[in-house]
Amino acid sequence: MKKLLLLMMLLPAMVFPQEFKVEYLKGTAKAQIGSSEQWINVIEGQTFKPNTVIATEENSTIKLKKGDVEFTMYEVSAVNLSSLKKLSLDELLLALAMEEILSAPKKKEDVKSKSTVVYGTRETGKQDLFVRSNDFGIKRLNGAVRLTESGFKESAIITARETFRKYPHTKGLVPFRLYFANLLIEKNLYEEALEEYYSIQKLSLNQQQKEELEDKLEFVNRKVVK
Amino acid sequence: MLQAGNILAQSSFSFSGSNDISGKSFNTIGSFETTPSNYSVTKDWAFSLITGGEFSDYFNSSLYTIALSKRLSPHNFTLRYTPGYQKEFFFNSGESIIINDSTSNSLQASFNYRELFGLGYSIDLTEELSAGFTMRYFTQEFNKETLTPVFSDSVYLLRENVNENISFWKTDLGIDYFLFKDLLISLASVNLLNFGSSVSESEFEKYKLKTEKNVLLGLNYFPASHLNLSAYYESSGSFQTGLSTGFSFLGGNLNFSATVFHDKYQEPFIAGIIPSISFSINNFGIKILGVKYFSNRNTSGSYSFFDREGINNIINNRYSLDKAVMNFTFALNTQREKYLEFIDVEIIEEIFPTLSESYFNKPFAVGKVVNIGNKQVTVKPFSKIEGLNESEITSPYVSANPGDTVRIAFYTLIPENYKGTKTEISYADFFIYSINDEPDDRIQKAVLVNSSNAWDGKVSNLKFFIKKGFEFSIGYSKNILSMHKSVLDTTKNLLLPFVKTNILFDHFVKELVYTADPRASAEYVQFPEETVKLKGGDCDDLSVALSAILESAGIQTALVDYKADGEPRHVNLLVNTGLAPEYAGFLTNNDTKYSLRKNEFQKDEVWIAIETTSLTDFNTAWEIGSQKFNNEALINMGLSNGKVEIIDVY
């Protein structure tokens, strides 16, 4: 009987592993566990709890796995492992509402772009949007793009919104802003997208960005009116 | 012998004289002569007794009337017993018998008129209009000696006494209408409907009370607060008019009035005057009045005149004598006018004295009140908790239409200096007022008043414990920070809140131990001073104390309520570092150790979570606090699903 009970207690841990394992690592990746101030070097085969942030250096790639979940992150990116989970649309809406609960409703802010980063292509792999920078906010955004590409779009939206607030200078990164605003449209969150586009409109935009923004605004406005 | 002449007196003559200056006094109850409509301003019960006497060769005293009035709003009922309303006549009929010895013996006649009792009913149709009727019961007794010749062996005269008793009801209708607030118009019938027994002896027909049909029109005008002018006119041509004035005296009203009356069947033109003086206080009134006729009055008169004219009024006729009358009136009710009644009051909140401000926003009791009146009134609710309130506490007014039942919320105020060490059952008195100075209704309910340290278990209410005894917290934080003056003087301004938090926390926890609340069944929270003195407490006590200390140093805090299922509830703190997110790097390399909240200017500020039960050092408390906040509030979405709540202290 005792054995049976023990088996029942262990079964969930065996079937649904609680930790991420580093399946592959190229270059350098670091981990910050829980509330620790320290970053430790990551090695292959190491396991991490979901309350860990993993960040990669230049020319580095890491592959993490927990059960069926596999996630590959390329260079100069960072991700909180707790974000590597599928969320329903309702859960996304709850998470967005949480911002409002935590804070008073925010007004549209007049944010000037402070970005001096260089947009480029990464050395390895393929990513829609990528910015080479050691700035941790940008690493977070690169990580959020990877979340999108890995199918964790809801988590990506939450991560990006949090990053834009915690690292205010990233608000001026128009390609990222447009990227995640477009993701809101993809999730049919038109009002949220509209608010984001209006905020982007106040930034310094090039002609191509202006045209894209106008197209998106027209599209979203039509959707909102409907 | 009686003088010849008509004796048809006016019907509106009464012993009430003019109205009191208010015109709405209960002093005139049962005056069916001036108010055949039974109009009354009695609020509940009223009782009146009129006694007095006539001045003749000697003073004949009698009890004139006893009247009782009851209002069942909007209905009013009056009963009147009138033992003194009677007039008796004794006459020598003018016929006499010569007896054998040559002495003569006159035949006698007597006539007795009585009004025994009456009843009245009226209804307030609107606030301005009232209608009603009165019924009065009269008896008449006629006696007359006659001589009847009897033929036998000789003829002789038989002296016989002929007697007849009859009675009848006299019914009249009337309406009273306030044309303006200060003008009352009355219209009533006189002798509208009379029914009863008839005389069998036709010779008595002429002695019956005359019941000529008339219309009575009355006007009462109140041009000033202490002045009343009244006038009553009968279609027969008789009238009376009066003036009443007065002033406040010994907490009551002292009034003087004079009424003069014209009776077209009496001489002179103004037949008499009724002066009066009255005093009323609270529910009691006394009035002394006199009736002075301007013509000579004798106790003897002409039978032939009486035989020809008869009478139509028992108390005011040609044969009436001057009178002195005293009128006592007492309102039996303690409520002048009642519009509202409690159905019930339910205590919905026991009293937690320290949560004083919370009672501004939430009622501690809810009452149901019904408007039993016939007009819309404003319900003015008050309450007073014994041992807690020194005076009655006003709650929001509610408007109630006639017949409506309204919900009344009762709020209370708790004195800041209240310090109850024991939980006790007290009593709350609830009052509702409408238009009177006195409450329409009251009810008493038991209410539980907890000790000052009692807490209702709602984390949002812990802020009241934080605010209480703020003087101690200010002194405490100032004392500690002054010990670290050199550190603070060399700290960048933008980091001061964070550094102060660090210093205050480390000092605060130095001598403290965590102790689980031993009062598991009854929530008990220590005030900050008690926690410091007792050197320990549970999560509630420690969070309250630390929040109070930080707030007193100008550092903004918020309570975090973790309501995890199946686990003991937990409370810790969020602290505002005041830093913009750009500067968060000054505090930490880990961006999961802080959260952003917008300030009143919609700017993000860095807040950190502190586990107050971690009594080691600031950094450990921050790490534990932020991990718990991240996991339960953010990752598990506790803030969205209601399992975690942030309560700003200010």
Counting beta carbons within 10 angstroms of the beta carbon of residue B161, is it exposed (0 to 12), middle (13 to 18) or buried (19 or more)?
Answer: exposed
**B397 against B517, higher pLDDT:** B397
Strand-pair partners of B252 = B249
Q: Does B624 touch chain A (CB under 8 A)?
A: yes
CB B409 within 8 A of CB B383: no
Instruction: Give pLDDT, residue B400.
Output: 92
Tokens of B133: 């009727």
Of B596, B622, B626, the CB nearest to A166: B596
Q: How far is it, in rounded angstroms, from Cα B630 to Cα B246?
A: 80
Beta carbons within 8 Å of B242's beta carbon, 6+ residues apart: B17, B18, B19, B228, B229, B230, B231, B257, B258, B259, B260, B274
Instruction: Give pLDDT, residue B564.
Output: 66
CB B629 within 8 A of CB B592: no
**B547 against A97, higher pLDDT:** B547
Instruction: Give pLDDT, residue B407.
Output: 94
Give DSSP secondary structure letters for A132-159. Answer: E---HHHHHHHHHHHHHHTT-HHHHHHH
Q: Which residue of A has its CA nearest to B624?
A: A35
Chain A residues closer than 8 Å to B627 by CB: 34-35, 51
A118-132, B51-65, B283-297, B547-561 — most confident range = B547-561
Yes or no, beta carbons of B592 and A98 under 8 Å apart: no
Sign of the Cα pseudo-torsion (B576, B578, B582, B583, in order):
negative
Q: Domain for residue B21, yes or no? A: no
Among the listed residues B43, B44, B170, B159, the one whose alpha carbon sits nearest the alpha carbon of residue B116: B170
Instruction: Give pLDDT, residue B318.
Output: 81
Tokens of B102: 């040559």
Instruction: Give pLDDT, residue A114.
Output: 39
Q: Does A195 touch chain B (CB under 8 A)?
A: no
pLDDT tens digit sequence for A41-83 = 999 999 999 999 999 998 899 999 998 889 999 999 999 999 9
Instruction: Give pLDDT, residue B307.
Output: 78
Q: Which helix (H) or strand (E) holds B75?
A: strand B75-81
Instruction: Give pLDDT, residue B337.
Output: 64
Of B584, B590, B639, the CB nearest to A101: B639
pLDDT tens digit sequence for B493-511 = 999 999 999 999 999 888 7
Q: Average pLDDT, stretch B536-548?
A: 88
pLDDT tens digit sequence for B344-380 = 999 998 888 888 878 888 899 999 999 988 778 999 9
Yes or no, beta carbons of A35 and B590 under 8 Å apart: yes
Residues B561 and B424 in one domain: no
Q: Does B630 touch chain A (CB under 8 A)?
A: yes
Helix axis angle, B496-509 relative to B618-628, nearest 10°? Answer: 100
DSSP code of residue B454 = B
Q: Average pLDDT, stretch B23-46?
A: 71
Q: Does B581 touch chain A (CB under 8 A)?
A: yes
Chain A residues closer than 8 Å to B626 by CB: 35
Cα B66 to its chain centre, rounded Å, is: 28
Q: Which residue of A has its CA nearest to B595?
A: A166
Give DSSP secondary structure letters for B457-503. Answer: S-GGGHHHHHHTTHHHHHHHHHHHHHHTHHHHHTS-GGGHHHHHHHH
Q: Average pLDDT, stretch B64-90?
A: 89
Strand-pair partners of B18 = none
Q: Give the pLDDT band (50/70/90) at residue B11.
A: low
Strand-pair partners of B340 = B371
Q: Average pLDDT, stretch B218-241?
A: 86
Hey, of A54, A107, A138, A166, which one would you mutate to test binding to chain B, going by the most B CBs within 10 A of its CB? A166
Percent share of chain B, pLDDT over 70: 92
Residues B379 and B287 in one domain: no
Yes or no, beta carbons of B640 and A103 under 8 Å apart: no
Chain A residues closer than 8 Å to B604 by CB: 103, 165, 168
CB B271 within 8 A of CB B262: yes
Residues B138 and B215 in one domain: yes
Yes or no, beta carbons of A98 and B634 under 8 Å apart: yes
* Domain CATH number, residue B281: 2.40.160
Q: Which residue of B has its CA nearest to A80?
A: B592
Of B582, B588, B637, the CB nearest to A37: B588
Last residue of a domain, one of B449, B477, B500: B449
* Domain CATH number, residue B407: 2.60.40.10
Tokens of B154: 């000789």
In angstroms and rounded to an integer, the radius of gyration of the C-alpha atoms of chain B is 43
Q: Which residue has the tokens 């101030």?
A: A37
pLDDT tens digit sequence for B396-428 = 999 999 889 999 999 998 887 788 888 889 999
Counting beta carbons within 10 angstroms of the beta carbon of residue B450, is it exposed (0 to 12), middle (13 to 18) or buried (19 or more)?
Answer: buried
Query: Lowest mean pLDDT: which of A94-98, B184-188, B457-461?
Result: B457-461
Instruction: Give pLDDT, residue A29.
Output: 95
Q: Average pLDDT, stretch B573-588?
A: 93
Yes or no, beta carbons of B598 and A36 under 8 Å apart: no
Q: Give the pLDDT band (50/70/90) at residue A124.
A: very low
Instruction: Give pLDDT, residue A13.
Output: 43
Beta carbons within 8 Å of A63's beta carbon, 6+ residues apart: A22, A23, A24, A25, A70, A71, A72, A73
pLDDT tens digit sequence for B139-166 = 999 998 887 878 877 777 777 888 999 9
Q: Give the pLDDT band (50/70/90) at residue B281.
A: confident
- CB burial readout B471-505, b (16+ within 10 A) else e: ebbeebbeebbeebeeeeeebeeebbbbbbbbbbb
Yes or no, beta carbons of A103 and B592 under 8 Å apart: no
Instruction: Give pLDDT, residue B591.
Output: 93
Q: How far is it, in rounded angstroms, from Cα B365 to Cα B238?
A: 61
Q: Give the pLDDT band (50/70/90) at residue A127.
A: low
pLDDT tens digit sequence for B298-322 = 777 777 777 777 777 888 888 888 9
Q: Domain for residue B17, yes or no? A: no
**B96 against A105, higher pLDDT:** B96
DSSP code of residue B252 = E
- Tally of structural domains, chain B: 3
Instruction: Give pLDDT, residue A167.
Output: 94
pLDDT at B9 over 70: no
pLDDT at B19 over 70: no
Last residue of a domain, one of B421, B449, B477: B449
Yes or no, beta carbons of B596 and A165 under 8 Å apart: yes
Q: Domain for residue B183, yes or no? A: yes
Q: How many CB atoms lie within 10 A of CB B370?
A: 18
Instruction: Give pLDDT, residue B341.
Output: 92
Q: Average pLDDT, stretch A3-15?
A: 45
Host domain of residue B516: 459-648
Instruction: Give pLDDT, residue B75.
Output: 92
Chain B residues closer than 8 Å to A104 by CB: 597-598, 600, 602
A123-127, A222-226, B345-349 — most confident range = B345-349
Phi and psi at B560, nearest 5°, equal -115, 120
A-to-B residue pairs, Cβ atoms closer than 8 angstroms = 77
Yes or no, beta carbons of B581 and A95 under 8 Å apart: no
Across chain B, what does the average pLDDT equal? 84
Instruction: Give pLDDT, residue B299.
Output: 72
Instruction: Give pLDDT, residue A200.
Output: 94
Tokens of B135: 């019924």
**B25 against A43, higher pLDDT:** A43
Angle at B643 between CA B641 and CA B644, to 5 degrees: 105
